[in-house]
Structure 1
Amino acid sequence: MHFPTNANGKLDINKLLNSHEKTPISITTTTDKLSASQQVIFDVWQQHLQIPSMGLTDDFFALGGHSLKAMLISAALSQKFSTPVSINEIFAHPNIAALDLWLTTNEQSLIEISPIKPQAFYALSSAQKRLWLVSQVKEQSVAYNVHAAFLLEGELCIPSFKQAFSQLICRHESLRTNFIFTQGEPKQHIHSAIELPLTLLEPAAITINSPALNQLYLELAQHHFNLETDALFQITVVKLSTEKPAQVLMFNAHHIICDGWSNSIILKELSELYTCYRRQQAPTLQPLVIQYKDYAAWHNKVLNTAQALNDKAFWQTQLAGVNRPMLLPNASNTERYSGHWYRSILDEALASAMQDYCRHNSISLYTFFASVTSVLLSHYCATDEIIYATPIADRQLPQLQSQVGFYLNTFLLRQALTPELSFADLLNNTKTQLHNIMQHQLYPVEQVLEELDLIEGTIGDFYRIILNVMEYESYSHYQLDGLRFNKILETATTSRADLNIMLVKGDALELVIEYNNQLLDEAGITTMKDQLIQLISQILEQPQRTLRELKQSLLSTREQQAQAEFLDAALAIDEEF
């Protein structure tokens, strides 16, 4: 089949969308006949959804789509059609026919970031500036370490491993960046090369279950990076005392140079490079056109555009009247950044039912879990108006898909939980609100927070309660020439927030709660986990239940009795007067 191209060799959207050519598709792929543009969409969906058969009107969510896949698909379609396709458009037009129709009437120029001229120092992005500021205190900085440990079974070729990681450092400027305070502000300084920060250990009699291994990992995770002078990531390889060759790969980096998406890129590219060097083959990774410094320069420049100012106005409306952050009880009196992680794999039947509910109602797992969490937080914070932070990957532009860097945008979700509102209505409200938020990501929320007239708390306090929904491919997909990555350790003794509730979708659905252990204990977190699962179960059975009923169900028997006694006393006083 012929696809029309323009002078630059890219897909010509005008010619393609005006084409009336119909292409019959084998019954093994779809029973529909597709136009040329529909074929392009079909191919992208098939690649990312891994579905061999789908029709023009098959729903994205029913096919197993979720937020991460929507971002990958939106970036791929943006590149294919040379026009911006946001995640919102995938959600708003959740089948091939609807998305194709939208594309025919919404042609725009795709934003492309250009490399900037070499300089001694480069500007930080707005997200980096906030993280740099909080990292000036040692305890706060350590809380923003990103770390994990993987078991690699088999013989690791250290020379090939060193060569592969050295190439990664050469390829991604973020891995050789420091942050220097100069001329009154922090700047990025990019080194032409750095020494590989690799430590090889072969301790005596250490196995995968040794307490010494866990202690070693915790010490690595608590390393304090000097943002001005240190390499801002570390790799440690620990050889195990096992019958068959095995080792543990530990990785630690400061969040200011990478995010969760970056970690997947590092593992994917490390796997490819190691395999090539091990087999004495030339690497095939495509060169990167831009780096993080180019993104930061572009983003800082567009903050003065009409679109950014429109986004600023949106957030000013969203946050109008806010004069204090929402905090957990007694939070203002607690020390921050000391914490633990609690992990629990959700029951397979419940996880399956929750995802089926999302597919049936054409909503993302993120939307559903945010709505459930809002009910829980309303109960714990004793308020019907909630506001908390939630991060999303800022990688909708195709150029940013393969970049290592801090491409994270943290926005605030503010909701009114009227007691008589049904959960189904709250879910629709959340879906609408998240749709609007996704359209107004360009302007940094923290800059709007600076304009608020707060009567309590600080700007940083708005980030003390966080919701995070992360959807990753299984790490076991990545291999170092046959050596599979199996994540074995991911814990810490620090917490970036008082409460960070995370739903992680990999091979299973896992609930991870990062918490301030000066404020909460494991027993309380276990109760919170049980209440979340209880809420999810009740909602799946009766989504029309009111928020009052759902919150009432979270009260303990003693709390319900105390509430009843209070109401009886109030009625008695009313009768007396």
Structure 2
Amino acid sequence: FVAPRNPTEMRLAAIWAEVLHLDSVSVTDDFFSLGGHSLLATQVVSRVRKAFDVELPLRALIEAPTVGELAVRVEAARGEAPANTRPPLVAVPRTGPLPLSFAQLRLWFLDRLEPNSASYNIHSGKHLEGYLDASALERAIQELVQRHEALRTSFHVQEDGTAVQVIHPRAELSVPVTDLRHLTGAALDTELERLISAEAQKPFDLTQSPLFRAALLRVTEQSHVLLVTVHHIVSDGWSNGILLREVGALYEAFSQGRPSPLAPLEFQYADYALWQRGWLRDAALEQQLSWWRNQLAGAPHALELPTDRPRPPVQTHVGATLPVHLSTEVTEALRALCKREGVTPFMVLLAAFQVLLARYSGQDDIVVGSPIANRQQTELEGIVGFFANTLALRARLTEKMTFRELLAQLKETTLGAYAHQDVPFEKLVDELKPERDLSRSPLFQVMLALQNTPRQPRTGARREEPAPAPGPVEITRGSAKFDLSLLLSDHGDDISGLLEFNTDLFDPDTARRLASHLSRLLQSAVSDPSQSLWRLPLLDEQERHQFLVSWNDTSRESHAVTTMHGPFEAQV
């Protein structure tokens, strides 16, 4: 352990300890070895901006992953004029209807095109074991809705056709309880699956508040399932974590007769929507857009994957999922490669996925979408709302390129995209004006997402944590926003998740085969990244035998024929 040696290192070490939940950090500890990842790195960068009044890109932490190395970068940046052009976030008066953020406006438009759709429901479930005070839980959820304005917001159209959001002073919300104690075995499992799926697929009316609901399923006296559903226009994946964390804190307090332990919020989502529209325009917007124009110039408008059925003339969203799991061996090799090459797990997974898509499609120019939290200021970390943005990440593959070379290219692409993530995807589509095709989503048709949570650190002492959260409930989505979506989670052990696919295009067997090919390709790539992209293996021995032997067994018994018409006579 090496203690901080100057004030800059002391402040940085304190920031790392806060973000990584550690008691102390050595100035020689590697941020990513301590459990850091790109999402936590973004939080470090935002805190560094606030503490030192300097603008460091995410690249700085990836290239200087220790406190000592980052302190040198901070000191160098302090002598420069801050490059940050963002004005401070301020609270605005709630004197009337407020504008929508750019992301909200897109979802509002999609809802007008396809009303009563559940495609943009965000649903989650938790198993709750032990005694449960249902009234305290309902009170906790009601307090949650009162605490976050986004949850009691509705959306309307003014006389001039402008969409506005209206924040209601209160929103009444009850938590219905369904008693399943009379069921056991297969009957219980069937009813649970039916209720969970029905809750997830129930649509919202955006003109009615709240766009949030909760339901409780009582399985036994000591076992319950809590279901939470919220419309994407007022929430995102990060917000979902806030909701579950805060309802737990509120329930614990209310069940013990104590008041809410949560500090009042300084800002709300409507403040962000006005702030975004106030600064992201003119020169600030142009500076961001110019990078994207250059990055996506000439990109293909479509990824032509082979499908099991013809593509419908209008894009559909009927979908299914299947589990994806990377073995411990592959996950450990992936992490070792990240450390050697100075990249993140997401960059490796993106490279492997894009190689697979190139091999399937025969194209060498691949664009994949990826969500990003887009909370670059500490003030936004505790607010519920739709902050998440989508990045269009492009890979250009050449004939002799190795996996290592593609990884280096995607590192630059990803870091550049992170530095220009303020441009809303909606603005990007408007600016680039891609060829419109009702059968496909614009710019990309395939998505990759990696959900990060802090890993147990290898060094340093972690502060005592509360008891682990109850396990998640498996929810059948039944929809697919894109042709394919690879949705992975990195919890510090094996990387796993789901492959979501459009069932109007792909059969389950096709999706299952694609997932197995990705796992095999990734295993070979991380073990030897010097291999050619086009020689990374996809097939297992059974598939190789089927392709090369079984399907090539075309020999037939032949008979001696002396005339041209002899075979015709024999056939007759």
Q: TM-score range by the shorter chain?
A: 0.7 to 0.9
Deviation, structure 1 residue 453: 5.7
CA contact (8 A) 1:149 1:488 kept: yes
Cα pair distance change 1:338/1:359, threshold 3 Å: same
Question: For residue 409 of structure 1, what is the amino acid of its counterpart?
Answer: N
Q: Are 1:496 and 2:481 matched, yes or no?
A: yes
Between 361-370 and 212-221, the greater mean CA deviation after superposition: 361-370
Question: For residue 442 of structure 2, what is the amino acid of its counterpart?
Answer: D
CA contact (8 A) 2:9 2:67 kept: yes
Alignment of 1:107-506 (within 5 A): 107=78, 108=82, 111-138=87-114, 141-182=117-158, 183-206=160-183, 210-241=189-220, 245-322=222-299, 324-330=301-307, 332-333=311-312, 336-452=316-432, 454-455=434-435, 457=437, 460-472=441-453, 484-506=469-491
Q: Distance in 2 between matches of 1:407 and 1:398?
A: 13
- CA deviations over 1:464-504 (Å, ceiling 9, x no partner): 31111111369xxxxxx979421122321111111111121
Alignment of 1:512-523 (within 5 A): 512-523=498-509
Between 313-322 and 249-258, the greater mean CA deviation after superposition: 313-322
Gaps of 5+ in 2: 456-465, 553-572
CA contact (8 A) 1:376 1:551 kept: no
Q: Distance in 2 between matches of 1:202 and 1:56?
A: 55
CA RMSD in angstroms, aligned pairs only: 3.0
Cα pair distance change 1:444/1:488, threshold 3 Å: closer
Deviation, structure 1 residue 350: 2.1
Cα pair distance change 1:389/1:33, threshold 3 Å: closer
Q: Distance in 1 between matches of 2:328 and 2:550?
A: 36
- CA deviations over 1:418-446 (Å, ceiling 9, x no partner): 12101001001100111111111222243
Question: For residue 388 of structure 1, what is the amino acid of its counterpart?
Answer: V
CA contact (8 A) 1:140 1:496 kept: no
Between 116-125 and 249-258, the greater mean CA deviation after superposition: 116-125
Between 79-88 and 167-176, the greater mean CA deviation after superposition: 79-88
Cα pair distance change 1:525/1:364, threshold 3 Å: same
Q: For 1:34, what is the secondary structure of its paired residue?
A: coil
Which residue of 102, 106, 110 corresponds with 2:77? 106
Question: For residue 249 of structure 1, what is the amino acid of its counterpart?
Answer: L
Question: For residue 303 of structure 2, what is the amino acid of its counterpart?
Answer: M
Question: For residue 373 of structure 2, what is the amino acid of its counterpart?
Answer: A
Deviation, structure 1 residue 139: 7.3
Deviation, structure 1 residue 250: 0.7
Q: Distance in 2 between matches of 1:552 and 1:200?
A: 48
Deviation, structure 1 residue 352: 2.3
Matched with 1:526 is: 512
Q: Distance in 1 between matches of 2:184 and 2:229?
A: 21
Deviation, structure 1 residue 343: 1.4
Cα pair distance change 1:473/1:194, threshold 3 Å: farther
**How many matched pairs?**
531
Query: What TM-score, normalized to structure 2?
Result: 0.86
Q: Distance in 2 between matches of 1:371 and 1:483?
A: 33
- CA deviations over 1:292-331 (Å, ceiling 9, x no partner): 1111111112222423211111111112223623243356
Deviation, structure 1 residue 230: 4.7
Q: Distance in 1 between matches of 2:116 and 2:394?
A: 26
CA contact (8 A) 1:340 1:493 kept: yes
Q: For 1:298, what is the secondary structure of its paired residue?
A: helix
Matched with 1:92 is: 63
Question: For residue 270 of structure 1, what is the amino acid of its counterpart?
Answer: V
Query: What TM-score, normalized to structure 1?
Result: 0.85
Question: For residue 37 of structure 1, what is the amino acid of its counterpart?
Answer: T
Matched with 2:561 is: none
Cα pair distance change 1:266/1:86, threshold 3 Å: farther
CA contact (8 A) 1:276 1:282 kept: yes
Cα pair distance change 1:204/1:473, threshold 3 Å: same
Between 504-513 and 190-199, the greater mean CA deviation after superposition: 504-513
Q: Distance in 1 between matches of 2:9 and 2:285?
A: 32
Cα pair distance change 1:453/1:117, threshold 3 Å: closer
Q: For 1:120, what is the secondary structure of its paired residue?
A: coil
Deviation, structure 1 residue 406: 0.7
Q: For 2:112, what is the secondary structure of its paired residue?
A: coil
Q: For 1:40, what is the secondary structure of its paired residue?
A: helix
Q: Give the share of equivalent positions with the same residue, in percent.
A: 27
Question: For residue 105 of structure 2, what is the amino acid of its counterpart?
Answer: K
Matched with 1:537 is: 523
Gaps of 5+ in 1: 1-29, 475-480, 565-577
Q: Distance in 1 between matches of 2:536 and 2:166?
A: 52
Question: For residue 361 of structure 1, what is the amino acid of its counterpart?
Answer: E
- CA deviations over 1:237-290 (Å, ceiling 9, x no partner): 01113xx51111011111111111111111111111111112222323222111
Q: Distance in 1 between matches of 2:468 and 2:405?
A: 48
CA contact (8 A) 1:323 1:456 kept: no
Q: For 1:450, what is the secondary structure of its paired residue?
A: helix
Cα pair distance change 1:319/1:31, threshold 3 Å: closer
- CA deviations over 1:107-166 (Å, ceiling 9, x no partner): 437852001121321111111112222223447831111112111011111222122112
CA contact (8 A) 2:13 2:24 kept: no
Cα pair distance change 1:460/1:167, threshold 3 Å: same
Q: Distance in 1 between matches of 2:247 and 2:176?
A: 17
CA contact (8 A) 2:116 2:203 kept: no
Q: Distance in 2 between matches of 1:349 and 1:163?
A: 46
Q: For 2:98, what is the secondary structure of its paired residue?
A: coil
Q: Distance in 1 between matches of 2:95 and 2:550?
A: 66
Between 407-416 and 313-322, the greater mean CA deviation after superposition: 313-322
- CA deviations over 1:178-226 (Å, ceiling 9, x no partner): 1112221221111111111422111342458621001100000111111
Q: Distance in 2 between matches of 1:415 and 1:484?
A: 38
Cα pair distance change 1:511/1:432, threshold 3 Å: same
